[in-house]
Structure 1
Amino acid sequence: MIPRPELISDLSASFELTSGATVSGDLVDAVRRALPLLDLRPGDSGEIDVRRDPAMGEEAYRLTVGSRGIEIVAGGGAGAFYAAQSLHQLLPPASYRFSERASWPVPGVRIEDAPRLGWRGLHLDVARHFFPKREVLRLIDLMAVHKLNRLHLHLADDQGWRVESRAYPLLHEVSSHRPRTATNYHREPEAYDDLPHGGYYTLDDLAEIGAYARARHVTIVPEIDVPGHASAILAAYPAFGATGEPHDVLERWGISPAILSPLPPTVEFLTTIFDELIGALGQTPYVHIGGDEVVLDHWAGSAEITAYRDELGLATVNDLQAWFLRRLADALAERGARAVVWDEAFVSGGLRQDTVVMPWRGMGVGRRAAAAGHDVVATPVFPLYFDYAEASSADEPMAIGDTITVADVAAFVPAPEEWTERERARVVGVQAQLWSERVPDARTVDYRLWPRACALAEVAWSGAASDGFAGRLEEHLGRLDAIGVEYRPQAGPHPWQRRRPHRPAGVRVAEVMERLDGMTHDAESTRPSV
């Protein structure tokens, strides 16, 4: 089973589960949603009996299969849902296919289980390449199978804005598309495909995504990345920029100097956007506000912004960036949501204490954030950036670099033993990132995520991959086959998944890690360059 339960023991008896079997008890709907292909029906007494135990955690469960039926005891709806996912994994892989088969044998077993980490996440960058609603809903289903519970949607970047705004309609009318896209993935020489690319989610789409996710115990974490990465926003509303000059939605990759102004109209604009996001999603306990890779030159060169900084009593533009992000976090707190940021925002200082930090540049800065009392979601480039290739082979599809393997992900420990107990307690989760500069379509999403996300699920649920993971993964691939996931085969890509000719190779992970180490070394005293 993936992820492996905390405690599993075999029992001698077994049970034949029939399609259309009845479910009775307290949490019937959660079990039925988890097993839609079995067409389970509610009843007064059923082959599957579900009971709530308030003494258990919300996501905890106990599953027992015997000759007389199946018993689930759970702390809440999430626990019952995860118990049903474990029950499904006890069935043959063919049970994941829609068919007319009437029954399935279930081996006798007793499982007692609860997750080690509360935040078990995947990140999908829909700004660089847009993926329509159907692909997001499918990803939520795949996450549910693996007991992953946070979907972080990167909705805005230099290359596109991906959500409707009724208050600022030029965002989706202008900023949601670009006339062409860079194809060389490096700045020199320039090469473009000359094909328009774009798309956005309506607020109704976002409401549907939120409801669909909640029914599967997945929380949507929307990200509006500010104050940098702002080319697309400023293409629609240049007045919110530091210079007021016109911008275009960026066609190439990399970091842009485009930056929002920190002045009050920009804060008002962003809080209105937050209101629209929160209103559409319904329940939004977290909103990611970015704070990464910010080029502050235009702030430093603006007399108006400098005067505003002086009025606030702030010494540097770095202090002003920290103030700006805290002001946004305060606005989110007023709306019942916590801010989430990338680690540069922590290094800048001044965060609200309840702000969640994602240390993408390495767990060294993550440890400093934890020591400072911030909740931390482990997101380091190595081994959790899934836009990196899985092998140093010319056959691999184009990636930003190589190599991050399934084994690398399985070996990751989010809260290392050498950290203090207090620091480890601040690691609330782990999340893999899929940036989409080199992920142009849904088939590539499948290839990049799976089966590495299976290893992520094990680490996120258990805190570390357990013995025998490789063997269990081999069996689990049969389930992915049945579901229709176009994952990367363990032996390497199928012929149709291989790299297109004449594409340059990416950079090596070791080179990236060396650079990131330099960026984060002695981060307590180092400020971002101006």
Structure 2
Amino acid sequence: MTFEQLIPAPARAEGPGGDGFVLDASTTLWAGPGTQTTEHWLRGTLGAALRLPLAPGAEGAPGSVALRLDSELEAEAYRLTVTGDGVEIRGGTAAGVFWGAQTLRQLLGAAAFRRAPIAPGREYTVPQGVIEDAPRFGWRGMMLDVSRHFTPKEGVLRYLDLLAAHKLNVFHFHLTDDQGWRLEIKRYPKLTEVGAWRSRTKWGHRQSELWDEKPHGGFYTQDDIREIVAYADSLHITVVPEIDIPGHSQAAIAAYPELGNTDVIDTAALGVWDTWGVTPNVLAPNDHTLRFYEGVFEEVLELFPSTFIHVGGDECPKEQWKDSAAAQARIEELGVSNEDELQSWFIRHFDKWLSARGRRLIGWDEILEGGLAEGAAVSSWRGYSGGIAAAQAGHDVVMCPEQHVYLDHRQHGGPDEPVPIGWVRTLEDVYRFEPVPAQLSAEEAEHVLGTQANVWTEVMESHGRVDYQVFPRLAAFAEVAWRTLPAPAERDFADFERRMTAHYARLDALGVDYRPPGGPLPWQQRPGVGGRPIEGLPPMV
């Protein structure tokens, strides 16, 4: 393995030269203060894959891997130095050391990505040289929707491993939606007793006539969440939970009908939604709803230490509020002008509530409608316009425009793509994505916290389908999020594609059911299950 096969490619690499350093049973591991997470990961993951004990060694001893913090490096930066006598990884923080260890793993070849050795007793050589690297963005994320199709806990832990292998550091956990509530809330047990289960599921796009009549559901206990958060922390990944309000809330209303607009609809007759799209059933804008969700968020804050808490805020139809005498009375009472401002009031309430507890609200770009809450950040998904408006107004932004980084969208225009959804977004398209809009000044661009790829699972019924949609495009996205690249048209996709040749072997070793470069394999297709291709791409705004 050489320095020219790394993904993401590092900022600077000198080498390789000499014969390299051989890792074998005699190789020791020395971990300086503050580097224990990488020490444990190297022994538990790399050591297990290669059957190397990596026994504790002395500082400066030849034949060792050494880990140390270096205050002269930026927070997540690292310097990986390989000589004939050993390996040294320096990081500006513990996270930097960890990302350096991920690079070391790639240099050891695909065998280092397995759970156990395929060639016991083999020696592994790391090429000599120096790699210096640091990320462009502090927020390098992926959102996984577990509401439409539930991902069991082991699948979530697996995806955390995959994110770490690509130097991604934010896991946006989409836990609630119309089709399922996935988080145990002890004071409201019906959220999972009722809200976590639906009787059947639409098979394919919502216009499909096909149904899977098998009940579907699942949820995470609070101990499951504590385990997920702790495991993510060991990989230097922050878990950002999403609890959707005031739209995308039919599962919660099915569990507790009083949360809905009871004066315009029989909410007691609602079940957890079994199809896709945007339901008209939204939360009632009253004090009971506020107190209920304050109770939800109190337990969320106990489970998730992340600074940001995502509240959704997207795709909230206003028809029920327009028809509801109670909602109209609320508008008059609050002195707001319309239903958009009523939603803004709803979001502002939780912005203040979270801020008072040392947290920050983030929501989809619809939270801009009616006025953006003072401390809120925006996930810009409907193109760039929401993110531009927010950044220009001095708000922080995570760029995730659906036209570029919605990985549920199809990867090819061919007829064999399984349940084709949305625009064609190839591996090259993702590689040419630019998170910072040219319309922003340098000062405004400072508000772009980073970028995120989103994985909505309406038509992804299994982990294999998720893998197919996510990979290999997540590898291209990871490089965009990590590196400072040239302008999109000037990027060397041919070089990236060459490096992907080695990376496919790593994904194979990890058991990732990715889309092959030549198209879907027979078992990856879904013949007869229709999607909804969108043939044209509207202008980006």
Q: TM-score of the superposition, structure 1-length normalised?
A: 0.93
Cα deviation code 1:246-302 (max 9, x no counterpart): 221111111111111121221111121112122123x12111101111111222222
Following superposition, the deviation at residue 509 of structure 1 comes to 5.4
2:89 maps to 1:72: yes
Cα deviation code 1:389-417 (max 9, x no counterpart): 11111111113234111100000111144
In the aligned structure 1, how far is the partner of 2:531 from the partner of 2:462?
19
In the aligned structure 2, how far is the partner of 1:350 from the partner of 1:495?
48
| Matched residue SS, 1:269 | helix
- Partner residue in 1 for 2:211: 192
In the aligned structure 2, how far is the partner of 1:471 from the partner of 1:394?
27
- Partner residue in 1 for 2:149: 129
2:158 maps to 1:138: yes
Q: Which amino acid aligns with 1:222?
A: P
In the aligned structure 2, how far is the partner of 1:418 from the partner of 1:42?
52
2:57 maps to 1:31: no
- Partner residue in 2 for 1:524: none
| Matched residue SS, 1:481 | helix
Match of 1:48 among 55, 58, 65: 65
Match of 2:505 among 478, 481, 485: 478
Unaligned runs of 5+ in 1: 522-530
CA contact (8 A) 2:80 2:89 kept: yes
| Matched residue SS, 1:432 | strand
- Partner residue in 1 for 2:496: 469
| Deviates most, 331-340 or 131-140 | 331-340
Matches within 5 A, 1:176-325: 176-187=196-207, 190-243=209-262, 245-246=267-268, 247-281=270-304, 283-325=305-347
Following superposition, the deviation at residue 30 of structure 1 comes to 2.9
Match of 1:15 among 12, 21, 38: 21
In the aligned structure 1, how far is the partner of 2:332 from the partner of 2:372?
17
Following superposition, the deviation at residue 190 of structure 1 comes to 4.0
Following superposition, the deviation at residue 347 of structure 1 comes to 3.0
Q: Which amino acid aligns with 1:215?
A: S
Cα deviation code 1:306-350 (max 9, x no counterpart): 222222221212111101101111111222221111111113313
Unaligned runs of 5+ in 2: 1-5, 48-52
Q: Which amino acid aligns with 2:302?
A: G
- Partner residue in 2 for 1:528: none
* Paired positions, count: 511
Cα-Cα RMSD: 1.7
| Matched residue SS, 2:516 | coil
Following superposition, the deviation at residue 65 of structure 1 comes to 0.3
Q: Which amino acid aligns with 2:534?
A: R
Runs of 4+ in 1 over 4 A off after TM superposition: none
Identity across matched positions, percent: 42
Matches within 5 A, 1:427-442: 427-442=448-463
Distance 1:191 1:166, change over 3 A: same
CA contact (8 A) 1:28 1:42 kept: no
Following superposition, the deviation at residue 374 of structure 1 comes to 1.2
2:367 maps to 1:345: yes
| Deviates most, 309-318 or 221-230 | 309-318
Following superposition, the deviation at residue 228 of structure 1 comes to 0.7
Cα deviation code 1:418-464 (max 9, x no counterpart): 53112222111111111011000001111111110000100000143
Q: TM-score of the superposition, structure 2-length normalised?
A: 0.91
Cα deviation code 1:378-397 (max 9, x no counterpart): 11111101111111111111
Distance 1:417 1:18, change over 3 A: farther
Following superposition, the deviation at residue 215 of structure 1 comes to 0.3
In the aligned structure 2, how far is the partner of 1:462 from the partner of 1:114?
8
Cα deviation code 1:181-239 (max 9, x no counterpart): 1124233x643221100000001100100000000011111111110111100001111
In the aligned structure 1, how far is the partner of 2:482 from the partner of 2:200?
41
Cα deviation code 1:108-131 (max 9, x no counterpart): 120111100011011111000001
| Matched residue SS, 2:201 | coil
CA contact (8 A) 2:35 2:69 kept: no
- Partner residue in 1 for 2:534: 508
2:76 maps to 1:59: yes
In the aligned structure 2, how far is the partner of 1:179 from the partner of 1:305?
31
- Partner residue in 1 for 2:380: 359
Cα deviation code 1:84-142 (max 9, x no counterpart): 00111111212222212453100012011110001101111100000100000000001
CA contact (8 A) 2:140 2:170 kept: yes
Cα deviation code 1:353-386 (max 9, x no counterpart): x312111110122211111111111111111011
CA contact (8 A) 2:204 2:419 kept: no
In the aligned structure 2, how far is the partner of 1:19 from the partner of 1:375?
48
In the aligned structure 1, how far is the partner of 2:227 from the partner of 2:25?
28
Distance 1:475 1:164, change over 3 A: same
Cα deviation code 1:463-496 (max 9, x no counterpart): 4375321111121111111111111111111121
Q: Which amino acid aligns with 1:375?
A: D
Match of 1:328 among 330, 350, 354: 350
| Matched residue SS, 1:510 | coil
- Partner residue in 2 for 1:164: 184
CA contact (8 A) 1:411 1:464 kept: no
In the aligned structure 2, how far is the partner of 1:198 from the partner of 1:464?
41
- Partner residue in 1 for 2:10: 5
CA contact (8 A) 2:8 2:166 kept: yes
Q: Which amino acid aligns with 1:508?
A: I
| Matched residue SS, 2:394 | coil
Following superposition, the deviation at residue 34 of structure 1 comes to 3.9
Distance 1:357 1:20, change over 3 A: farther
Following superposition, the deviation at residue 20 of structure 1 comes to 6.5
Cα deviation code 1:30-67 (max 9, x no counterpart): 33344323243333335112221223222111110011
Q: Which amino acid aligns with 2:159?
A: L
- Partner residue in 1 for 2:515: 488
| Deviates most, 76-85 or 334-343 | 334-343
